[in-house]
Amino acid sequence: MDFLVLPTALTSGTVTVPGDKSISHRALILGAIAEGRTEIEGLLAGEDCLATLSALRALGVSIDNSDDTKVLIDGVGLGGLTIPRKALDLGNSGTGMRLLAGLLCGQQFDSTLTGDESLSSRPMHRIIEPLSMMGASIDSNDGKPPLVIHGGRALTGVHYAPPVASAQVKSAILLAGLYAKGETVVIERAVTRDHTERMLRSMGAGVSGDSGHIRLQATERLEATSIKVPADLSSAAFVILATLIAKDAEVVISNVGVNPTRTGVIEILREMGGGISIENPQLVGEEPVADIRVRSSVLHGIAVDASLVSLAIDEFPVLFIAAANAVGSTQFSGIGELRVKESDRISAMANGLQQMGIKVDVSEDGAEIYYGEPSGAIIDSYGDHRVAMSFAVAATIADSVVRVRNIDAVDTSFPGFSEVLGSLGVSISIEDPDQS
């Protein structure tokens, strides 16, 4: 499918966006191995989380998601998962695969994790190394999926400093740590999202995190709890940018997760001149949540502080669009990790922006993007949800129609994306290229 977007003046309004993808994955996984019934409200019913949900069902967990976003899980306890009858297919989801790999290392049975073409080309060595140090046995296709995990190994806690800043790696180690003898410590070189630690704590696990050392004590059991999933700031970011670059609009996005390990995008856009305010902040369970008010603003180019990269890791595609609308030029550095996301996001974004007539210089782990007026174009999303949504946002201020190709993956993280933009007056439709 393709997006077809006509240049349109975005109008003011209040919108909601779907639940947080990272928190939804963790709620499903930890709910599955807790004791008792976990109630999740606001789960992201996107394809990534549904793949994780199906994998957990195949591992013997009873999950009722007949109500889509309100999910009930009858947890089986740390030792209650059962052998799956076939390979567990995680689709497009790196989070699903890496977190489940950590969990499955601690089981008494073998399991296999597979994924789609994009996931099958993503690096898994980053989890295989620390999990192997803990005593796990994992076969892979030269460091890539499929992963075959041999169960029945006795795991021991490690002290490990991942060479890349990654919440997925940290979480895989902590999940394996639940099954390990002794203490597990992850030493972070840069702060990454801490939803796993917060949720583990809310379920009674001994987790502490001082100055980059995250420590998990041996844990006997997790206690089921109720979890309210806030709206995903990574999805809200598309609405935030569409509003900032519009002529004269003010939009409120309600109930968004504003965990400080995620808010790099707000910090960066504010530094570029973006009028963004946080209203009605509150703590919902373990997670900070607020309404975000955005006003159209004139953006200016900056050198983005590399220390913010891990706090905005999923927002660089949309930040590239911000940069193209910022007077002067914007420099990004230390963003090499973008090359191993759902697509090579540095190349995918640079190619699309160049198609729109924007000047971009790229290096292995950075980019400089110059101000320009985007022209109509046909853009390839490379099957990457965030690339597709970023160009749909850019298209709202292009000089003529923009077609974004291959947008099916948008449903992995933001089902209803085009409806949300549509509710703010954007002329966006989904078209089957074979029928047009």
**Residues annotated catalytic, as ranges:** 314
How deeply is 132 buried, as exposed, middle or buried, from its count of CB atoms within 10 A (0-12, 13-18, 19+)? middle
Kindly report the number of other CB atoms within 10 A of residue 102's CB atom. Answer: 28
Q: How many residues does the chain have?
A: 436
Phi, psi for 193 (deg, rounded to 5): -50, 140
Phi, psi for 337 (deg, rounded to 5): -60, -25
- Which CB, 166 or 296, lies closer to ligand S3P? 166
Phi, psi for 71 (deg, rounded to 5): -120, 140
Tell me the closest approach of the beta carbon of residue 257 to ligand S3P, in angstroms. Answer: 12
- Which CB, 23 or 251, lies closer to ligand S3P? 23
Tell me the closest approach of the beta carbon of residue 95 to ligand S3P, in angstroms. Answer: 4
Report the interface residues with ligand S3P, using CB under 6 A. Answer: 22, 25, 95, 166-168, 171, 193, 313-314
Reported as type and span, the H/E element at residue 55 is helix 47-58
> Is residue 169 within 8 Å of 154, Cβ to Cβ?
no
> Is residue 63 within 8 Å of 71, Cβ to Cβ?
yes
Tell me the closest approach of the beta carbon of residue 406 to ligand S3P, in angstroms. Answer: 19
Tell me the closest approach of the beta carbon of residue 143 to ligand S3P, in angstroms. Answer: 15
The C-alpha atoms of residue 281 and residue 166 are separated, in whole angstroms, by 27
Structure tokens at 239: 């609405």
Say which amino acid occupies 261.
T
Tell me the closest approach of the beta carbon of residue 310 to ligand S3P, in angstroms. Answer: 7
- Which CB, 329 or 381, lies closer to ligand S3P? 381
- Which CB, 311 or 404, lies closer to ligand S3P? 311
- Which CB, 122 or 403, lies closer to ligand S3P? 122
Of 384, 398, 375, nearest to 314 (Cα)?
Answer: 384
The C-alpha atoms of residue 389 and residue 414 are separated, in whole angstroms, by 9
Tell me the closest approach of the beta carbon of residue 318 to ligand S3P, in angstroms. Answer: 13
> Is residue 359 within 8 Å of 347, Cβ to Cβ?
no
Structure tokens at 186: 């992850």
- Which CB, 171 or 325, lies closer to ligand S3P? 171
